[in-house]
Structure 1
Amino acid sequence: MTDLTVCAYSPGTVRDAAAHTESHLAVHAPQLRAAFRAALPQAAAAVGRRLLGALWREDFADTRIRYDGRGHRHAFDRVEFEAVPADDPVDLLPSSIVDGRGWTLAAELANAVANLAIAYARRSSVDPAGDGPDAEAVALERLAIDGHNLHPCGRTRIGWNVDDVLAHDLEAGTTRIGFVALPRDAHVGDDLGALLGVDAPRGFVAQPVHAWQRDAVLARRHPEVRILDGDVPAVPTAALRTLLLPDGRYLKLSLDIQVTSSRRSISVASTHNGPALSTLLTRLLAAEERVTLLAETAGAALDGSRDASAILRDGLTAHLAGGERVVPGSALPLLAGDLLDEHGGGPLAFLTDYARLVLPPLLRLATRHGIALEAHLQNCLPTFVAGVPHRLVLRDLAGLRLHRPRLAATGAQLTLWPGSVIGTDDLYTMRAKLGYTAFQAHLGELVIALTRHGLDEAAAWRAVREVVDETYEPLRADPATARAAAADHAAFTAPRVPHKALVRMRLTGAGDVYIPVRNPLHAP
């Protein structure tokens, strides 16, 4: 298979990416060529708007000078640009960064445009491929066709070629899970094959893998791994590497392609930590009546490698009551109008109800136990009853940050895999993870969506601040949490708070990079 991003377009232009894509569509899906060509301008504009917004927010000086006053300003220094003054997002990159890793970013942008245009061309109904709340949730995820709500490279699929996108992306509606046999002495974790009813040869353990990963990665890199016959169907979610099984559970599988800023393989640490964290969080969240965790019940990996990792996760079916409607967070801004009509209380009342569902359990967990969940839209599955926010369902624990001293002070016992990146002794790191995902990427997107239905943005953030104050009031009154609560409250309501700098992260090639932005929760 050919890597889409290394095909003779080192300048990373959309023209080159589009020509490459269309040549593959001519072979693999000729019926999509006309729709793909027609969708390219829309896709380029969508990627361009997010890129321009990111460049502005991350304070690239030449972007500020060239585009000052052209966009709509929102909280956390966000600016939304309706019109993009370029047909190719690559042309928006400041000349000062178009060298070195800037060329890598250019190729990623071009890749994102081409794949988004394919997705637009394949746009279909949201009828669920199966019964139950999980199938309905995945169907609704397909509404959020642009991908990540802030990242300009939300549709990058670096490592997949066009035929791979057609076979395995979210719009495909189905993909396959294969199985390999890992040598028993190279297997780490639970016997997932046995849990899924798959046998392995003597001396081996059966391990589920994404069909693409099996054929493109494991068969080439790992001669010690045996490919087993047969596979099973599964439904791709918006996370791509997380697949819905026919029995309603999920498998999160290593997928060695780049989506947004990361290659989506899975560390050995995550396969160990997920089940351990699920056990702990289930206990810690037991008092939160309106919170449900989709537990990661088992995990396994190839020792010393990220290439064959897998994590088994619970589904929704056993956790919901009659009348609950699940709306994946990624689809929430798109369905805000429908929910408002059902709610009947107006946009500010709806937002306040929603903030009271989402924020208190997340803030309490961080203050009491030092655990900052990565509560961006994709990881949250809120439910509604007659439009009223009812329950917060949380999933995927790989991106959380755990402040070891705070957790240790509670007496909780948790052994992380050595070197796990989720553990930290730095309160700034923990707070930045929670603050960026919950306030900016999650509530910030919903607030903007509700402004289209008459919500006043300043009033919205005053209401959110009231929810924050209400949450911390009893925590500050409790001697066991008073000091931590006061410090957390001050951090989340400070004049400036950390924003995840998505473009600068790509240019540095490092881990999370944060910059300060103005905070609408600050009340002088």
Structure 2
Amino acid sequence: MHRPPTAEAEVARELADVRRDLVSRYTAALPGARAAVLTRLWRALAHEPLPWVAAREPVRDGLLLRLANGRRLDGRAADPYATSAYVTAVRLDGTPYGDPAALVTELAVPHSAGFAAELGHSVASLALSRAGQDGHPEEWPRTDWEWEQRVVDGHPFHPNCRSRPGFSVAEQLALAPEHRPVVGLGLVPVRAAECLVTGVWPKAMRDGGRVLIPVHPWQAAHVLKRPCGQRLAAHPLMALRTLALPGGPHVKTALSARLTSSVRDISVASVGASAVVSDFAGALAPRADGLLHVTRTLGAASAHSPDLAAVLRESPSRYAGPGERVVPVAALPATGLPASPAWLTAFARLALTVGLRLLELGVALEAHGQNLLVVLSATGDPVRLVYRDLADIRVSPARLARHGIPVPALPARMVTDDPAALRRKLFGSLVAGALAATAGSGPALRAALEPAVRDLPRTPDLAALLDEPLPTKALTLMRLSPETPGDLWAELPNPLKALAP
């Protein structure tokens, strides 16, 4: 029976046409990429509430999963906070599988075919990303985008860490941040009367009575299907659809492709609310005792379509003082940090102090490693935080009212007084996300958190962090549940459980 070529083979074929010099490096990178994706997948199988996993049993050699259809899946004990690729194979009814796409295909659970295809893309794109690296200079980067482009492997815990379906090899090399390209950001003219504009839209992005909306080249070619005449030289950031203009703002573009989990367009409602949300967060940040800056949204524009819209934000680097650097948390391991357990504890203390303070006031940040940045002193110590991209925060009117803070007219999806929802948002992104990925393992995370929480105010939120399972987004369950909108959650073993009073 004829079988279609795998994503790995397709990428190899395309790569031979556009960058033959990378083919051998790509091939050499494939085993490590499979292990990296399989490790992330095994974490999900071991810890997410997947309906077709009937039971999980520790065994002498690791972990055994009993599936609802009677099959058995076993592998190493799964550290939910590990970022190293420590799983090279798992066994399904005794047969070893080292290819995550092949494993999911054989499991044949609902919606597994599409997910298996995405895993194949993730492996192939990750190998391509690694193949394109020539090593980094010893000195630290000088520009904000150079920090971001050191993040090669993508999301530290999502099996779709590098899935880019719809992107050819040539497009990945020309547009993906880890390949360090200069991207020609298109400008599409739209009559001002047909645009929704909030904040201050720069004169350089206006042409008489028309608004010039920045458009990602992939979006122009595949979704808008129109050429873009005028172009701006820009540098892609780790979010791919957000790019830095040299000496200017960061531009968040609409990119209607499924990257990692979701199609990330820019809704008309989010453009309409952007100025209000930005002003609200900016006014709240000083209540974190000078330890937090929030990048301002300078302007947003939409042609009343989620496929043609853009948001302009401050560069986080503007919050660096003399000798300081602002580094995305996701980039810390790629730059040699954390330098020591004491450094990691200091960073954890800073991040928890800020996150819990804002949560007490009524705002839960989605403080994962992409949104959260740390200001480093000239000697590399963590001194303050910078937060960007306010689209997914959660706000509690009741908590704000208790502190005498006016409640602005926010989008309904941001508003909740449910303590569990607020805590999931912060703890899932910050503790199970940014801090766990920076630590790199469960034991290292516990060692950092234990001294960090000792002097924090004993609030109900901290009590929940100490005593309850640690929430995290059930990323694989979400990909296998297309009929269920919104976030789904898993509960991880809490490394702080023994510290609860």
Aligned to 2:173: 166
Please, which of 351, 357, 382 is the counterpart of residue 364 of structure 1?
357
The runs of at least 4 consecutive aligned structure 1 residues that moved more than 6 Å come to: 77-80
1:395 aligns with 2:393: no
Which residue is equivalent to 2:413? 421
- The one-letter amino acid paired with 1:45 is A
Structure 1 stretches of 5 or more lacking a match?
1-7, 10-14, 221-226, 341-345, 474-484
Residues 243 and 78 of structure 1, relative CA distance in 2, 3 Å threshold: closer
Of 350-359 and 404-413, more deviation after overlay is shown by 404-413
Match of 1:502 in 2: 475
Name the SS for the 1:435 alignment partner: helix
TM-score, normalised to structure 1, is: 0.82
| 1:402-430 deviation digits (Å, cap 9, x = unpaired) | 2233335534141124xx42223422212
Contact 1:53 1:80 in 2 (8 A): no
How far did 1:186 drift? 2.9
Residue matched to 1:511: 486
In the alignment, the residues of structure 2 paired with residue 404 and residue 273 of structure 1 have an alpha-carbon distance, to the nearest angstrom, of: 17
Per-residue deviation, 1:234: 0.3
The one-letter amino acid paired with 2:28 is A
Query: Residue 216 of structure 1 corresponds to which residue in structure 2?
Result: 222
C-alpha deviation, 1:276, in angstroms: 1.9
Checking the alignment, whether the CA contact within 8 Å between 2:436 and 2:442 is kept in structure 1 is: no
**SS of alignment partner, residue 312 of structure 2:** strand
Taking structure 1 as reference, are residues 215 and 518 closer, same or farther at Cα in structure 2, changes over 3 Å only?
same
Amino acid in structure 2 at the alignment position of 1:87: G
- Cα shift at 1:446: 2.2
CA distance in 1, matches of 2:424, 2:211: 40
- Distance in 1 separating the partners of 2:23 and 2:320: 42
Paired position in structure 1 for 2:160: 153
1:45-124 residue pairs with structure 2 within 5 A? 45-58=35-48, 60=53, 61=55, 64-65=64-65, 70-71=76-77, 73=79, 81-85=86-90, 86-93=97-104, 96=107, 98-124=108-134
Task: Show CA shifts across 1:466-520 (max 9, x none).
Answer: 2xxx3324xxxxxxxxxxx43x233222232322111101011232101222222
User: Which residue matches 2:59?
Assistant: none
Residues in 2 aligned to 1:247 and 1:176: alpha-carbon distance in whole angstroms: 16
Contact 1:241 1:254 in 2 (8 A): yes
Secondary structure of 2:480's match?
helix
Whether the 8 Å CA contact 1:296–1:314 is kept in 2: the answer is yes
Partner deviation per Cα, 1:237-270 (whole Å, 9 max, x = no partner) = 1000110002231000001111111112122222
* 1:24 aligned onto 2:14: yes
The two structures, once aligned, show a CA RMSD in angstroms of 2.9
Q: State the alpha-carbon separation in 2 of the partners of residues 266 and 416 from structure 1.
A: 16
Determine the structure 2 residue equivalent to 1:291. Answer: 292
Task: Decide which of 450, 459, 463 is 2:451's aligned counterpart.
Answer: 463
Give the Cα separation in 2 of the matches to 1:270 and 1:158. 26
User: After superposition, what is the alpha-carbon deviation per residue over 1:286-320, rounded to whole angstroms, capped at 9, x for unaligned?
Assistant: 243122211112111121x2101211000134321
Shift of 1:69: 6.8
Query: Identity over aligned residues, as a percent?
Result: 33
Residue identity matched to 1:175: V
Counterpart contact for 2:83–2:440, Cα < 8 Å:
no
The answer to whether the 8 Å contact 2:43/2:78 transfers is no
Distance 1:99 1:190 in 2: 45
1:278 to partner: Cα distance:
1.8
Alignment of 1:309 with 2:309, yes or no, is yes
1:125 Cα deviation (Å)? 4.4
SS in 1 for 2:225: helix
| Structure with the higher fraction of residues in helix conformation | 1
**Farther-moved stretch of structure 1 (105-114 vs 401-410):** 401-410
State how far apart, in whole Å, the 2-side matches of 1:240 and 1:414 are. Answer: 31
The aligned residue for residue 269 of structure 2 is: 269
- Corresponding residue number in structure 1 for 2:323: 323
CA distance in 1, matches of 2:442, 2:156: 15
Partner residue of 1:181 out of 186, 189, 194: 189
Q: Note the C-alpha offset of 1:95.
A: 5.0
How far did residue 16 of structure 1 move? 1.0
Which of 417, 421, 434 matches 2:426? 434
Q: Indicate the residue corresponding to 2:60 in structure 1.
A: none
The alignment partner of 1:243 has SS state of: strand
Task: Report which stretch shifted further, 99-108 or 238-247.
Answer: 99-108
Give the whole-Å Cα distance in 1 for the aligned partners of 2:158 and 2:86. Answer: 14
Report the Cα distance in structure 1 between the residues aligned to 2:11 and 2:385, rounded to whole angstroms: 39
Q: How many residues align?
A: 469
